[in-house]
Amino acid sequence: MRTEMSGNYDVQQVCENGHQITGCCNLCPEEKKEFCKDCGAPTITACPSCGKEIQGTQIEVLQTSWIDARQGGGGKMVPGRPADVPSYCERCGKPYPWTENKIMAAIQVFAELGIDENEEDTIDDDMHNIARDIPQAKPSAIRIKRICEKLGPLAYNVVMEFATKTTAEILKGNMS
C-alpha cells in the first residue's frame, strides 16, 4: 500500500496490541518496524476493515528564511504534536485490533471470574459500549459496575483500562 501524508498529518504505525511504533511513517521511515519491540505483534498503518491510513503525528513546516515565509514556499517539514493511538477508525467506525483485543480480554476475565447467565447475555454489548463515548455507555457502565462490585477489584481494573472518561467516572463511584 502506498502511503502519503494526508493534509498536515503523517501516517501512524501501531502494533495489533496498541503499542505505538511511530507517528511519522513517511517523515521518518527508518522508525517503521514489522513487529512490535514490546510484545512481538505485527504492526499496521491502516484500518484492517476499510484500508484508511491511521492518522499520525501533525506535521509542521518550518520556514528556512523570511523569503520562504513571504513566498509561501520552501521550508522544512518536521513532526509537530504527537499522535494518540486511536481506538476506532475515523472512516468506518470499526474498532482497531487493539481495542477489540482489550474488550475480548475483559470479557474473558469476567467469564473466568464467574458472571451469571443473565450477565453473559449483555456483557459483550456493555463492554463495547463503555469503550466508546455514546449514550448507551452510561447504562452499560452501571451494569458493569454492578458486576465489578460482585467480582472485586480485578474485574474493576480490567474495565478501567479502556473505559472512556465519561464511563470511568460512573465506574469510580465507591469502587476505587
Report the pLDDT averaged over residues 4-8. 57
Q: Which domain holds residue 60?
A: 9-79
Q: What is the mean pLDDT of the chain?
A: 84
The predicted structure's pLDDT at residue 1:
38
The predicted structure's pLDDT at residue 159:
82
How many domains are there within the chain?
Answer: 2
Q: Does residue 70 sit in the same domain as residue 105? A: no
Q: Is residue 91 part of a domain?
A: no
The predicted structure's pLDDT at residue 68:
55
Report the pLDDT averaged over residues 39-56. 98
Q: Which of 25, 51, 79 is the last residue of a domain?
A: 79
Q: Does residue 123 sit in the same domain as residue 73? A: no
Q: Is residue 24 part of a domain?
A: yes
Q: Is residue 140 part of a domain?
A: yes
Which pairing describes strands 9-11 and 13-15: parallel, antiparallel, or unpaired?
A: unpaired
pLDDT tens sequence across 109-159:
888 988 888 888 899 999 999 888 889 988 998 998 898 898 888 888 888
Q: Does residue 166 sit in the same domain as residue 112? A: yes
Question: CA separation (Å) from 68 to 9, 65, 73, 79, 148?
Answer: 21, 5, 5, 19, 59
Q: Is residue 168 part of a domain?
A: yes
